[in-house]
Amino acid sequence: MATELLSELAAKVAIGERLSIDEGRALLEARDLIQLGMLASDARGRRHGARATFVRVCDVPLGDAAMAELPLETAGELRLVGEPASREDAIEAVRALAARSGSVPVTGFALQTLYDLAGSDDALVGLLASLKAAGLAAVAEASADRIIARGASLAPLVDARMPLARLVVEQPVEAAGAPAWLADLRGLQAESPVIRAVAPLARQQPGDVPTTGFDDVRLVALARLLLDNVESIQANWRRSGAKLAQVTLMFGVDDLDDVPARDPRDLGPRRSSLEEVRRNIRAASLEPAERNARFERLTR
């Protein structure tokens, strides 16, 4: 039964046909991780070929925007981190960093933070427009948990023509609820197609019961198969660690976020973050391609 189902779904994936929530549930119940991974990998391959992208990121604390030393030679994204006290602080930090960023795109902020500063959807559109004028290339992230819990919309981003670099997940998604949850995200993207990437692995792990490797790669694979209107499924290099991040490449991930633009110490050329991420992508039988925050290919 499971084999028949997987063959049937593989045929649908091969011609790019959309999978339903029920089919997502059936994939979960089949518990055949290797076959699921192959399906997701096919879906990734149809969209991205044999290429896996990565971006080297430099986090810049808001207060340091005007003075932090910037690794402009290595970074593909300068990401403002922290909570601005006001709209003006946010705009000023972007302006100060953008003035020193050269050709490296500046991103920053969680969408919820900006909404809290703005107070309404209309005001958020105005704030996003001001941030864009100051040099913000994309909002760094939005929390899927919060957006879905509040029934919020991504429409202000569309209205302001501001890209969303990634949709992130705060708390682990329960397996049984994952297909419906992914369908919600698919609906969100259909309404307001601004999500460039979804990073489905939770940022926070319950101390006593962290997600397992099986939980993680199964969710990644389901995300790739069900989120057919999202370009990239992403894993976070620093949070997941090299080993898990690499394994997710076999389960539908096509983009590795948050590779350090600066190594904490001199590791030598073979052990630098750049070489490590390239080596891991190649060992997953994919071709590494460095990108910037605008998802433009970098040749270095």
Partner 1 sequence: MSIQAIAENAVAGGRVTADEALRLYLDAPTSMLAEAADAIRARKHPEGIVTYIIDRNVNYTNVCVARCNFCAFYRTVGSSDTYVLAFEEIFRKIDETIAVGGVQLLLQGGHNPDLPLEWYEDLFRAVKRRYPGFKLHALSPPEVIHISRMSRLAVERVIERLMTAGMDSIPGGGAEILVDRVRKQLNCYSKATADEWIDVMRHAHRAGLRTTATMMYGSVDAEADRIEHLLRLRDLQDETGGFTAFITWSYQPENTELGGYERTGIEYLRTLALARIVLDNFDNLQASWVTQGGKVGQLSLLCGANDMGSVMIEENVVRAAGASYCMDEVEIVRNIENLGFVPKRRNMHYERLGDPLFREQDIPRRRALDTAKSDADPLMPDELSRYAARSRSARVMRGQP
Residues that bind partner 1 (CB under 8 A): 31, 33-34, 37-38, 41, 208-210, 212-217, 241-244, 246-247, 249-250, 268, 270-271, 275-276, 279-280, 283-285
Place of tokens 């290919």: 297
Least Å distance, CB 214 to partner 1, is 5
Residue 17's CB: how many other CB atoms inside 10 A?
11
Q: Could you give the maximum distance between any two Cα atoms of the chain, in Å? A: 62
Q: Which two tokens stand for residue 19?
A: 């999978």
Beta carbon nearer to partner 1, 264 or 268? 268
Beta carbon nearer to partner 1, 36 or 131? 36
Least Å distance, CB 267 to partner 1, is 9
195 has which bridge partners? 164
Beta carbon nearer to partner 1, 25 or 87? 25
Beta carbon nearer to partner 1, 128 or 235? 235
Least Å distance, CB 172 to partner 1, is 13
Q: Which two tokens stand for residue 122?
A: 């209309």
Per DSSP, the three-state class of 58 is strand
Four-CA torsion 232, 238, 243, 244, nearest 10 degrees? -50
CA 57 distance to own-chain centroid: 13
Burial 170-208 (b: 16+ CB within 10 A, else e): eebbeeeebbebbbbbbebbeeeebbbbbbbbbeeeeee
Beta carbon nearer to partner 1, 34 or 149? 34
Least Å distance, CB 146 to partner 1, is 26
Least Å distance, CB 76 to partner 1, is 22
Beta carbon nearer to partner 1, 162 or 249? 249
Q: How far apart are CA 75 and CA 291, in angstroms?
A: 10
Least Å distance, CB 5 to partner 1, is 17
